[in-house]
Structure formats: C-alpha cells, structure tokens
Chains A and B, each alone.
Chain A
C-alpha cells in the first residue's frame, strides 16, 4: 500500500460497528483486516483512492482506481457462485483516514490458507486434489465469463485462491480488483504507456501484446489457472527463478515452454499433466477452451 494503512484505532473511530480488527495484509492500494461486524467475522477491505489531480494522467489513474473497486463490488454482488468470494455486511462507502480517501467495504472471511501459504509449507497435493482445484477455478472462470460484461479475472494466482475444504467450496477465488470486462468500457490505461495490471509472472503471453484489449478473452484466465495448478503440483512457478528480475521471467513466459508437468511430478497421470501443459501454450487458440468439456473431463478423471 502506497499510503499507510489506517490503524485499528482509526478504524474504530470511523467504523463503530467494526470490532476486533486485525490487519491481515496490505499491498498495492488495498488493506485487508479481519474484523467482527455485527457478531460475524468478516474481511474488511479498504481501497485507497488517489486524490483529485490537476494532472490529466493522475486524474485518469484516480478514475481507474475508483472504477476498479466499483466494478469489483458490483461483480461480487452479481456472482452467485460459491467458488467466488461473497460480499459481507458493510456496503461500499467512502471514508477519510488521516487525510487520505478510501473506499470501505467487507467480504466474507474465508477461514483457510491461501495456496501461496500452502506452497511455502511444501504442500504436495495429490492428483485428486489438483483436479478439484482446477475444476473450481474453471467453474469460477465460467461464472465470470457468463456475466453480462463478460469478465476476465486477470489475477488468478496462488495468493488469490483460498482452500476451505468444504464440500461445496473446496477452493474459493478472490480479489477481482483488476477484472476486465470485455463488453464494457475498459478501465485499463493505454498499454503503450505501461504494463497491464496484474501480477507479472502470472500474465498470459497475449496480455503482454500492445493490442491485448481487443483480443483478450477468458483463455488468459485459463492460462493463469493452469499456471496456478502447475505451481501447486510442482511446488515452484514454471517460469520464474529466484532471484531474478521479473522481466527475465516475462521473457521466458513469451519465448520458452515450461518443463512438462509430468517431468516434475512423475506420479501424476499423463492425461492430467498434458491437460495442464496444453493450457500453458503461448497461443490462446491452442489452449482447450470448451469449459463444459474440460470440467466434465476433469470430474470424470477425479
């Protein structure tokens, strides 16, 4: 977070209905707290909105930030899928903390580890669990794509998937902060002037093309979902090496093929590994994209 996250005391003053707040994480423009609201534990989110700027670029950026959080909340309200995080009891409103403007709202609190935490703990999921994860991600992608605006999540990665281990919600996808609506006005600034938003090592190769806004579709999310499944299976990102510059990773994303999943997890079945590998192809048309067929295949094999 580029400005300091509000303290718990500041929160208490502005939001008296919120108690027991604990800052969980902060980054980018967002701070997330676990808090009790009306007797329920929820995730309280504060998104920083830059101040009004006289500079045109600054003003555009402010509008983009506002647009993004508005879209995220709107999408979460529209989504019925249990595989996407749900809104909480605090409706979106603006509030000032120490002279900085934030949008405040809440989501349900997902009481489970995100996949990044699990990977760091040397989690080695079996094929059945990997398939379940893949199916959950595909269903979430399908749900977003069927919304009127045709949404692409654009930030699927282990950090944004929580394992709940509930029968109807084994894995839940969160953070639609940079979702892209294909059929609505783009919120993304011209990519000639900066890289598209998202976590660089998880961007699909086509997202790095200057005209990506004209051609992008949910196959970019399929790529990121497969990357997430691959990383969970292998325990490491297929393109990133540490330590290295992110641009070196991006060069690999564009020009190199990852090691076949079967080469790093020989215990997994060949068809499953081939499916994951096929979703990591550079050209979107080479990724199997019939979601119904893919989900059926994975559920049959699960």
Chain B
C-alpha cells in the first residue's frame, strides 16, 4: 500500500525531497505540466533518488474530447505525439481506439518509466452510455496492444469516471463484471474519480461516491489487479484498506481532486490558499492558524511526525513545505489502516473515524471556530460510505 505524488504545475523540489525522504513511493507525472524533454530528465532523476519508486505518466488523453484551441488549457500536452483533439464519434471505431493506444503506449515505452498508463476517455455521466462502451474498448485492448510491444513493465488501463456514474450502483456492478473478466487483462488500473470542479470537495466526500470508489478498488483487487488511485489524497488510506495498491496526492487542490476543470481556461485572479496542516486525528486539513489555536488545547491534532516542524508555533509555514507534511501524514495513516485483511482494516477505519468524531466534539464543546473546509462534514460521508461499501461488497 503506497503513496505516490500526483505531479502538476510548480513541482520545484517537492517530489525529489519526497522521494529522498521516503515520504512517497512513486510519482505519477501529468503530461499537461511537463514537457516530454523535461519529463525524461525528471524520470532519470527520480530513478537515481529512489530506484524502487514507481515512475508513471498520466497521458491525460481524457482531455482530448474537450476540443482544442482556446477551449483548452492544455499546457505541454500538445507536445506529446499521441495527443490530439477527438470527437466522441471518432473514438466509437475500435480501430481508432487501437491507434490511439498504440501511439500512447509506444511513446511511453521509450521512456524510463517503471510502468505504463494507457490512455482512455472519461465516463462523464453514466456507465450505460456510449462513453462507457468506448472506455471499455480502451480497457479491453490495453493488455493486447501492450503485449505486442514485448515490454515487460506493468501496464495499467485508465478508468476515469465521474462521480455521477458511480451513483448508479447496478450499472457500476455490471461494468465491474465486464472489466474484471478480460481476455488480455492489463496488470492494473489507474483509477480516477472526477468531480465537476477540483474545489468541489463535498462532491467526492459523499457516501455513495466513497462507497463506489471503495467497491471499484475491492473488486479489482480481488481479481488480481493493481489499483493506482489518482488524486485520491485523504481517501488513499481508505481505498488501500480495501485492496487498492496506491493513492496519489499533490500540492494543490487541483492535484487532490480530479476534475477536467483544470484543463479549462483559468479564471483570472484569486488568492493563494492558506497553508493547511493534515491532522491524522481529524482526518482532515486545518489551517495553520487553527492548528496553532488547537495544539495546546487538543495536542492529539498534531501527528507527532518529523514534518510537524514545518508548521512552527505562531509562524506562517513555508508554502513549499506544506505538501511534505501532507505526504508524511498520509503515509503514517496508510501504514496504520492497511496492515491487515479487508475486514480488519475496515474496523481500523471505523476506529479512526470514531476518534476524529470525538476530537471534533471536543473542539465543538470548547467553541473553537473552524472554517468550513476544516469541519467534520467529511466524517459522516466516510462513515456512511464505508457502511454502504460493506453492504455492496457483501462483507
């Protein structure tokens, strides 16, 4: 059970430090935010820093249906040879799917990656849709196409679904039945669950979405697939508790919640977000100001880990250190919740949620104000999501 960096704009030295310190065990680069030349350099560097770390590239082909030109903030994506805008109807041809796969897989095969993530489109509304059929065609063809390259590295099919698609459980179950029985299966899946906006945290922290995401991990894992959960952030420990292999998290909200809105033209302006500390006791991030208010009154909100020092008392933390603290906390939580079998792990998840509830109750009783993002809303979603998952997974 591993934590990977979700790469994006403004990497700086974050990933290098994360790998060097063992806070993360891999990285998923995003094509939009790195040129092919720079990517090769970074991959070589990552390999030198941590030879066993996973080095993956999200080809971000799902952006291809958004159109091109001014409608798209594609960054370096258009420098990648496999990328070009498509209309959905073009991808309804299985031959075209094969061509796209071939191009993306061949390109990646020439890079010093540890594994290959195949392209796919986003299932934006429903598993009962033309998009879903196209996505299944990509998944079905991934193993066979990659096999022809004679490359021994693992290949991951991308499965990118919107939160709306996860709401219809019977369709999800049928889709799962299809993708868990493939003639030439990939080694694993790169799984993305999308919200309408990367700011829409509550769209993902919703019981039905969490349950569906857990179910995907559980079903794929029992069928022998590795599951790398992109943009999983705080859900990483929970997804890995039910069989997921890894989860990814980055330094911006756009690297913690998957949404295609990060490829849309940017709205102008906006303030830098305040630095937040990830408290494992609260299973949430709180602002450094809130942390300073709570740490004496409720010392267990502090994780007791090395990077706590990046949030010194009564000082503003350095912005570029925030993600290191997040990764360290997530890794500790991951280790704590994923050591046993699924049933045992879920019991630990329940206990962690109960502890968080207790801490929030004490904060509330002391009338300490928290901003909306720092509050306890996620706990109900997590708790209900796990309960619903148990029902869906017949546990």
Contact = CB atoms under 8 A, between A and B. Distances in A.
Interface of A: 215, 217-219, 257, 274, 278, 281-290, 293
Contact of A283 (B173, B181, B223, B224): B173
Contacts of A290: 223-224
Nearest to A218: B181
Given A278-B222, A288-B222, A215 B174 contact: yes
B394 interface: yes
A286 B181 contact: no
B274 interface: no
B177 A285 contact: yes
Given A288-B222, A290-B223, A293-B224, A283 B394 contact: yes
Interface in B93-141: none
Most buried by A among B173, B174, B176, B177: B177
Interface string B188-230: 0000000000000000000000000000001100111000000
A276 to B, nearest CB: 14
B177 A284 contact: yes
A219 B181 contact: yes
B383 interface: no
A271 to B, nearest CB: 9
B287 interface: no
A13 B34 CA distance: 85
A287 B218 CA distance: 10
A290 B187 CA distance: 12
A58 B84 CA distance: 58
A7 B392 CA distance: 54
A288 B223 contact: yes
24 contacts: A215-B177, A217-B181, A219-B177, A274-B341, A278-B222, A281-B394, A282-B394, A283-B177, A283-B394, A285-B176, A285-B177, A285-B180, A285-B219, A285-B223, A286-B218, A286-B219, A286-B393, A286-B394, A287-B222, A288-B222, A289-B180, A289-B181, A290-B223, A293-B224
Closest 6 CB pairs of A and B: A285-B176, A290-B224, A285-B177, A288-B222, A285-B219, A281-B394
Given A215-B174, A215-B177, A284-B177, A289 B223 contact: yes
Contact of B173 (A257, A274, A285): A285
A274 B340 CA distance: 14
A257 B394 contact: yes
Contacts, number: 38
Contacts of A215: 174, 177
A286 B222 contact: yes
B72 to A, nearest CB: 35
Most buried by B among A218, A285, A286, A287: A285
A289 B180 CA distance: 8
Given A283-B394, A286-B393, A293-B224, 9 more contacts: A218-B181, A257-B394, A278-B222, A281-B394, A282-B394, A286-B222, A286-B394, A287-B222, A288-B222
Nearest to B175: A285
A283 B394 CA distance: 9
Contacts of A293: 224
B68 to A, nearest CB: 37
A275 to B, nearest CB: 10
Contacts of B222: 278, 286-288
A298 B222 CA distance: 15
Interface string B225-238: 00000000000000
A282 B181 CA distance: 16
Contacts of A274: 341
Contacts of A281: 394
Contacts of B177: 215, 217, 219, 283-285
A105 B223 CA distance: 40
A219 B394 CA distance: 16
Nearest to A274: B341
Nearest to B221: A288
A263 to B, nearest CB: 14
Contacts of B394: 257, 281-283, 286
A219 B219 CA distance: 13
Contacts of A287: 222
A217 B222 CA distance: 17
A215 B170 CA distance: 13
Contacts of B224: 288, 290, 293
Contacts of A286: 218-219, 222, 393-394
Interface in B131-174: 173-174
Contacts of B219: 285-286
Contacts of B173: 283, 285
A286 B215 CA distance: 9
Contacts of B218: 286
Nearest to B394: A281
Nearest to A219: B181
Contacts of A257: 394
A285 B173 CA distance: 7
Nearest to A285: B176
A149 to B, nearest CB: 14
A285 B393 CA distance: 9
Contacts of A283: 173, 176-177, 394
Contacts of B174: 215
Contacts of B341: 274
A182 to B, nearest CB: 11
Contacts of A217: 177, 181
A252 to B, nearest CB: 14
Nearest to B342: A274
Contacts of B393: 286
A284 B174 CA distance: 9
A284 B170 CA distance: 12
Contacts of A282: 394
A281 to B, nearest CB: 5
A84 B28 CA distance: 47
A282 B218 CA distance: 15
A287 B176 CA distance: 11
